[in-house]
Each structure stands twice: as C-alpha cells, then as structure tokens.
Structure 1
Amino acid sequence: MTICSLTSAGCKDMSPPPSDPRFTRSRASLIAAVIDLVGERPVEAVSIMEVAKAAGVTRPTFYQHFPDVPSAARAAALYQLSGAYPYLDADLEGISPDELRKTLEDRTASVLRHLRQNRTFYLNVFEGAGNIDLFDGLVAIVADRMMLPGASARPAASVAERDRKLLLAGGIMWLSVKWLRTETGASPPRAMARRIVEISLKTGDS
C-alpha cells in the first residue's frame, strides 16, 4: 500500500519516481536537504538554490522533482512521518484489551516523540507550506497505519472501516498539531498518546 493510498489528494508531492536510480538518489538528497534547511528556518526563507546546493544537485534537477520549496517541504514532511509511523501488527487481533492499549500507546508515543524531536521542521512546514494536500497526505498516513494487515482485502467491510479510520485520523492529526504548537506546558508524549488511544478505543478503533 502506498503512502497516500487512502485518499487521492495529498499524493502530488509523493508520486512514485521513475526506475532510474539517479532520479531516486537525487530525490532522496533533495528531501534530506529540505529537512535540514526547514528544520532551521521558515520555508519562505529557504531558496531553491540553497536546497539544490545542499543536496549536491543542479537547479534543473530540483525542478524535475518539485515545482517549488513548499512542495518539497510537504513531500519531506510526508516522507518523515511515513517512516516514523509503524504499521499495525497482524497479531494484534488476538491480544488482550490491556495489551492492545499498551501496544497502541507505545507506538503513538513513539510518533509523538518523533514530532517533538523535529518540532521546528514540522511547524515550519505546517505554517509555511501547509495546504489541503499536505493535511490529506498526513491523514492518509495515519489512517493507513490504523488498518490491520489484510483489511483492504475485505471489500464488504473496507469502505466503512476506511471511512472510520479517515475520520479518526483527521481528529488525531488536529490534536497532534495543536499539541505540537504548545511550546510550554504541553503534556508529555506518553500522556498525549494515552489520550489519543483512549479516544480511538472509545470510537471503536480497537
């Protein structure tokens, strides 16, 4: 399943690259450069030439991947979160409610720690390059990671299940971004994870 497989929007910056390994390498270098640069200052303060130079590529190569820096920043945010958010394990359906709660809290706290550790980068992207495509892409990642393996192979149940996951994922992203924006006095990642999991379980996400 691809990063943006649950929604059509949000995938513009994450389209599968051509088979040319040079294309893949240059895209990876550009994303890494954007993560570093946007982690230091606002998106609007970063130029295409800076990104290209930091990535070791030319300006035309940048344009082969992205139309502008905000697009590159959105792609980098989706890439980062996708790598930080684990998929559900297939054997979760057989564990006890307490074990399930702990497992979900552990994985949610891990993602929240990642967000906090990269707080400046994500806030700069949200505030300087955020749009509906970015939010849709982030929601798709969260919803995708809520789906148990094989869920998409159950056509009769998949539509309703996906709708519930997308609705819940949107709320989780909103809460997470609000939490991330609270610089002082914010609850620790574990406490916020417990809150998110409690909401998820109460809405039938077990």
Structure 2
Amino acid sequence: MNPDDPRARRTRAGLRAALLTLLADTAPERVTVSAVAREAGINRATVYQHYPDIDALVADAMEDALAHVARCAALCPLEAPEEGAPAPLVDLFAHVAEHAALYRALLAGDFAHRLRAGVAGELRERFAAGARPPGTGGVPDRALAAHLSGGLVALIADRVAADASAASAEEAAGVAWRLLAPVRYR
C-alpha cells in the first residue's frame, strides 16, 4: 500500500477520525479495531492494511493533537503584556475545551508523556535559537523545557479533569500565563 496514494490518505484520515470519535466516549484501552472499522464504515482487513494494530492507529491519530498543542505553546510571543495571556495560549485552551472528552481520555495514558515531550522539544528549539526567559541563563535548555512543558501539560490535564465550561479559554489561558510568569518568555 502506497501511503502517498490519495485513497490511502483518505482511508487513514477516516480511520483517525473514527478513532477520535470513539475516544470521546470510550476509554482508550477499550477501543478495538472492530469498533474503529465499524465507525469508519469499512472492514477490519482494511484497517490492518494501514495499521499493524490499534496502538499504531492511536499513535498516528494523536500526532495531530500533539502537534497542535506543541505549536500553540511554541508560538507564545517573546514579549506579551502582563495583563493578558497571548493569543496562541488562548487558542490552545479553546482547542482543549472543544475536545475535552478526548483529552481527558488521552491524558490518562501515555499521551501525557508524549505531549510533554513534544512541547519540550519545541521549547528546546526556541531556547537553542536564543529565545530564553530572563534569569534562566544558567539553567540547561533541557531542564527549562521540561519544567515549562510539564507545567503546561499539568494545567491542561487539570482543565479537562474539571468542568471545562467552568472557565472560558481566555480565563484558563490567563491562569496558565500567570502561573508560568516567573519563567515565561520576555
């Protein structure tokens, strides 16, 4: 199977969408290949033509979510007003609120580790390029990135564990911005 074939890309996109739909209401460990195939409207054999197992499908489907969160975190400006959170952080929390059930299920498993690693990688790239928070010159890039990404993922997990509608995305981003203020970009 040629993964670049438009039909293969459409099938894989449909399988990822079916999986994400199922994950919104079902714990990740309870999702089966049969359920994904049924949701996507295809047979099980077709799933196996594209993915060796359900874990490979989950990993592929989560890449988009991981990339979105990492991109939003990395887009936070080097300088932002003290009184408000930067727009990329608001976008991140709006995305999380929109997909709260999905993130709730995913953050209970290995996805939290992968999310932290993805955000930390984006931040290490910025630090290596010279964009560092003031007063952190003696802190290794890896440690600083781990600290910031761990805090952000913990705040995302807390957001989805609570009632996501309790606070707006702007309010949630504002809280995150204030908590990360001592080491945020300047």
**Scaled by the length of structure 2, what TM-score is found?**
0.72
Partner of 1:138: 115
Q: Distance in 2 between matches of 1:196 and 1:34?
A: 30
**Preserved CA contact (<8 Å) 1:143 1:165:** yes
**Preserved CA contact (<8 Å) 2:75 2:88:** no
Partner of 2:162: 182
Is the counterpart of residue 32 in structure 1 residue 12 in structure 2?
A: no
CA distance change for structure 1 residues 78 and 186 in 2, over 3 Å: closer, same or farther?
A: farther
Q: Percent identity?
A: 22
Q: Distance in 2 between matches of 1:112 and 1:160?
A: 28
* Amino acid paired to 2:75: L
Q: Distance in 2 between matches of 1:119 and 1:74?
A: 18
After superposition, residues 1-206 of structure 1 pair within 5 angstroms as 19=4, 21-63=6-48, 64-68=50-54, 72-83=57-68, 85-86=71-72, 87-88=74-75, 92-93=77-78, 97-98=80-81, 102=84, 104-127=85-108, 130-131=109-110, 134-146=111-123, 152=128, 160-183=140-163, 186-206=166-186
Q: Distance in 2 between matches of 1:24 and 1:162?
A: 35
CA distance change for structure 1 residues 19 and 153 in 2, over 3 Å: closer, same or farther?
A: farther
Q: How big is the alpha-carbon RMSD for the aligned residues of Structure 1 and Structure 2?
A: 3.4
**Scaled by the length of structure 1, what TM-score is found?**
0.66
**Preserved CA contact (<8 Å) 1:78 1:138:** no
Partner of 2:134: none
Report the count of equivalent residues.
175
Structure 1: gaps spanning 5 or more residues: 1-16
Bigger relative contact order, structure 1 or 2 (CA pairs below 8 A, ≥6 apart): 1
Deviation at 1:198, TM superposition (A): 2.2
CA distance change for structure 1 residues 22 and 178 in 2, over 3 Å: closer, same or farther?
A: same
Q: Distance in 1 between matches of 2:7 and 2:122?
A: 30
Structure 2: gaps spanning 5 or more residues: 131-136
SS in structure 1 at match of 2:175: helix
**Preserved CA contact (<8 Å) 1:77 1:122:** no
